[in-house]
Structure 1
Amino acid sequence: MPDSPTGLKARLRSDLTTSMKARDAIRSSTIRMAMTAIKGEEVSGTVARELSDDEVTTVLAREAKKRREAATAYTDAGRAELAEKERAELAVLADYLPEQLSEDDVAAIIAEEVATAEAAGKTGRAAMGLVMKAVRARTAGKADGGLVAAEVKSRLGA
């Protein structure tokens, strides 16, 4: 496996060094956790491989989703201090993720894809797969998949 890191991985390594020198414990531990998740993804499967920047972004998005869900769970359980830690980690991960689309932008993309599906003669449940595939391709890494799916369902009445 080549040892030359992708751009995003190199940035993570550099930022880890900087945060360690600055004694920023939250940032350091969060970047370490992210790099561990990336390494785990690289060695999973039958052959170890180097992840592309897009694949690294996918891993980071998955880790961010875990932090968002954990923060919600801790808040619901009345554990504000743990929820705050999860939100702090989420803020660090957000620095490495693409800018998230607004709800209005996502709604506009969904409306366009629903119109395209309807023009192709697909409506309701039959259009769900077609619309989701197109919307996911346009919003990959920039919008929460669960929210996108819920909006598409409500638009299609499925």
Structure 2
Amino acid sequence: MSLLETLTADMKTAMKAKDKDTLSVIRMLKAAAMNEQISVGHDLTEEEELSVLSRELKQRKDSLAEFEKADREDLVSHNKMEIEVVEKYMPAQLTEEEVKQIIADTVKAVGAESKADFGKVMSAVMPKLKGQADGKLVNQTVKDLLA
């Protein structure tokens, strides 16, 4: 079942349950996926669907950080709920240890030895971890391993 089909089914369920908050998030996700489908000109592949979901999740996490800085508790709680809904559609996240192991293996595979090889490692590791690990965690772990 494609992401759009899943979102449509979940949208109907949320409507029947009169869950307005979840419904609004699902509608935003569906709109983002449909816009991406229009821009690429074909049905989305799993990787493209994952890219859309990752982008939406990142936007919400960035907003959450800003709202927390500004002490906007009303917006923080709503944003956390949105993040939970988006995460339901994401693949299972890897643990920090699993991420470190994948990055360590990639560092060895590309022969990286110093911070100068940071870009080479990131370009090799991100496709492996796309949607399964937070980009900030990956970035920081690569920096730590190359230090």
TM-score (norm 1): 0.86
Matched, 1:38 2:33: yes
Show the counterpart of 2:127: 137
Aligned residue pairs: how many?
147
Shift of 1:111: 1.2
Shift of 1:117: 2.8
Matched, 1:127 2:122: no
**CA RMSD across the alignment:** 1.5
- % identical aligned pairs: 36
Q: Hey, what's the Cα distance between the residues in 2 that align with 1:37 and 1:7?
A: 14
- Which range moved further: 145-154 or 65-74? 145-154
From 69, 79, 86, the equivalent of 1:76 is: 69
Show the counterpart of 1:91: 84
CA deviations over 1:28-49 (Å, ceiling 9, x no partner): 000000011112212226xx32
From 97, 104, 115, the equivalent of 1:104 is: 97
Q: Hey, what's the Cα distance between the residues in 2 that align with 1:33 and 1:87?
A: 15
Shift of 1:115: 2.1
- Structure 1 alignment gaps of length 5 or more: 1-5
Shift of 1:145: 1.7
Shift of 1:126: 4.0
Show the counterpart of 1:3: none
Give 3-state SS (helix, strand or coil) of 2:18's partner. coil
Give 3-state SS (helix, strand or coil) of 2:93's partner. coil
CA deviations over 1:81-140 (Å, ceiling 9, x no partner): 10110110110011100011111111111111122233xxx4213432332122112211
Q: Hey, what's the Cα distance between the residues in 2 that align with 1:27 and 1:10?
A: 16
- Structure 2 alignment gaps of length 5 or more: none
CA deviations over 1:21-79 (Å, ceiling 9, x no partner): 1101111000000011112212226xx32212221121011101111111111111010
- Which range moved further: 123-132 or 108-117? 123-132
TM-score (norm 2): 0.91
Give 3-state SS (helix, strand or coil) of 1:44's partner. helix
Bigger Cα Rg: 1
